[in-house]
Amino acid sequence: MNAYPQMHEKFRSIWISDIHLGTRGCNADLLLDFLRCTESQYLYLVGDIIDAWRMRRSWYWRQEHNDVIQKVLRKARKGTRVIYIPGNHDESFRDFAAHRFGRVAVLRETIHVTADGKRFLVMHGDQFDGIVKYAKWLAFVGDRAYSWALGANIWFNRVRRTLGFPYWSLSAYLKHKVKNAVEYISNYENAVVAEARRRGVDGVICGHIHTAEIRSFGDIIYCNDGDWVESCTALVEHHDGRLEIVRWAERPHLMPMSAVDKADKEECASASSPTLGFLKSMASSARSKP
Residues that bind Mn ion (CB under 5 A): 48, 87-88, 126, 208
- For residue 135, the minimal CB distance to Mn ion (Å) is 8
SS (H, E, C) 110-154: EEEECCCCCEEEECCCHHHCCCCCCCCCHHHCCHHHHHHHHHHHH
Nearer to Mn ion, 229 or 279 (CB): 229
- For residue 126, the minimal CB distance to Mn ion (Å) is 5
Alpha carbons 88 and 84: distance in angstroms, whole number? 13
Between helix 28-37 and helix 63-77 the angle, nearest 10°, is 20
CA 284 to chain centre: 23
- For residue 10, the minimal CB distance to Mn ion (Å) is 29
φ and ψ at 157, to 5 degrees?
A: -75, -25
- For residue 48, the minimal CB distance to Mn ion (Å) is 4
User: What one-character DSSP code corresponds to residue 193?
Assistant: H
- For residue 124, the minimal CB distance to Mn ion (Å) is 6
Nearer to Mn ion, 88 or 127 (CB): 88
- For residue 239, the minimal CB distance to Mn ion (Å) is 30
CB distance 145 to 121 below 8 Å: no
Nearer to Mn ion, 12 or 208 (CB): 208
Nearer to Mn ion, 88 or 272 (CB): 88
Alpha carbons 98 and 84: distance in angstroms, whole number? 10
- For residue 282, the minimal CB distance to Mn ion (Å) is 17
State the DSSP string of 239-290: TTS-EEEEEGGGS--SS-TT---HHHHHHHHHHHHHHHHHHHHHHHHHHT--
Alpha carbons 198 and 233: distance in angstroms, whole number? 28
CB closest to Mn ion, residue no? 208
Alpha carbons 56 and 224: distance in angstroms, whole number? 27
Nearer to Mn ion, 229 or 268 (CB): 229
Nearer to Mn ion, 51 or 267 (CB): 51
- For residue 247, the minimal CB distance to Mn ion (Å) is 20
Nearer to Mn ion, 22 or 87 (CB): 87
Give the number of C-alpha atoms closer than 13 A to the C-alpha of residue 218, restricted to the C-beta side.
8
CA 275 to chain centre: 20
